[in-house]
């Protein structure tokens, strides 16, 4: 199957329709988890004399750890939802491994993109597209940060400008969801997330990469 923005978004929409209320509910749960994490870190800051404007070191550390764990769970959830939309449940949202590899990959990609934007804007955009699947690869195949970055580079080779258009379209779809009193995000976020995973799966398959822990992600 060839990669295209239309085919990926079509996949996301058709998959969403199969279990629309489940995906809407899942995103409500994810939003509540983020709210609970924010409340917890705010409570830590308040106990230690900090505030939202001046967070404490411990509060910032807790916030970083919790948002990382949530991000890992969301990634694992959508990988599982893409592969088995009819049977996926909420259990992949707890996916704490590989925690340190995920953090390392996130930091390396972030620093690389920032360096690209500092040099010139265009290199920053190219690096962002080149390494856009890195954290998904870490969760999906448990590769180390450098291996995952290399794999993402290989996957996106020859597709960077189509991927730029794809990301812009996804952003516009979610913008439309946000304009619709934010309620629309309950539909657009799962659709675009499933479309993003489909792009990753299609490009990985063209390269011959196979997921290493798909079965675990469904547990």
For the chain, the domains span: 5-217
- Please name which of 86, 205, 96, 81 lies closest in space to residue 155, comparing C-alpha atoms: 205
CB 127 within 8 A of CB 108: no
For the chain (length 219 residues), average pLDDT per consecutive 10? 91 96 97 96 90 88 95 98 96 95 96 89 90 97 96 94 96 94 91 98 79 43
> CA separation (Å) from 40 to 73, 95, 97?
18, 20, 22
CB 190 within 8 A of CB 27: yes
At residue 33, the pLDDT reads: 97
At residue 2, the pLDDT reads: 79
CB 70 within 8 A of CB 77: no
At residue 17, the pLDDT reads: 96
What does the alpha-carbon distance between residue 195 and residue 23 come to, in Å, rounded to a whole number? 14
At residue 208, the pLDDT reads: 64
At residue 212, the pLDDT reads: 52
At residue 52, the pLDDT reads: 76
């Amino acid at each position: 199957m060839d990669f295209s923005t239309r085919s990926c978004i079509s996949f996301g929409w058709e998959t969403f329709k199969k279990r629309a209320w489940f995906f809407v509910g899942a995103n409500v749960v994810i939003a509540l988890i983020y709210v609970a994490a924010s409340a917890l870190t705010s409570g830590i800051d308040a106990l230690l004399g900090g505030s939202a404007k001046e967070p404490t070191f411990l509060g910032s550390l807790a916030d970083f750890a919790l948002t990382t764990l949530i991000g890992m769970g969301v990634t694992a959830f959508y990988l599982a939802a893409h592969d088995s939309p009819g049977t996926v449940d909420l259990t992949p949202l707890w996916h704490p491994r590989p925690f340190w590899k995920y953090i390392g990959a996130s930091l390396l990609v972030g620093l690389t993109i920032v360096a690209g934007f500092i040099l010139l804007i265009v290199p920053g955009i190219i690096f962002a597209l080149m390494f856009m699947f890195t954290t998904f690869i870490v969760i999906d195949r448990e590769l180390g940060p450098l291996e995952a970055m290399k794999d993402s580079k290989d996957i996106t080779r020859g597709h960077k400008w189509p991927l730029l258009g794809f990301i812009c379209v996804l952003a516009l779809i979610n913008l439309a969801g946000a304009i619709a009193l934010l309620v629309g995000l309950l539909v657009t976020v799962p659709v675009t997330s499933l479309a993003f995973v489909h792009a990753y799966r299609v490009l990985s398959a063209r390269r011959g990469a196979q997921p290493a822990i798909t079965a675990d992600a469904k547990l």
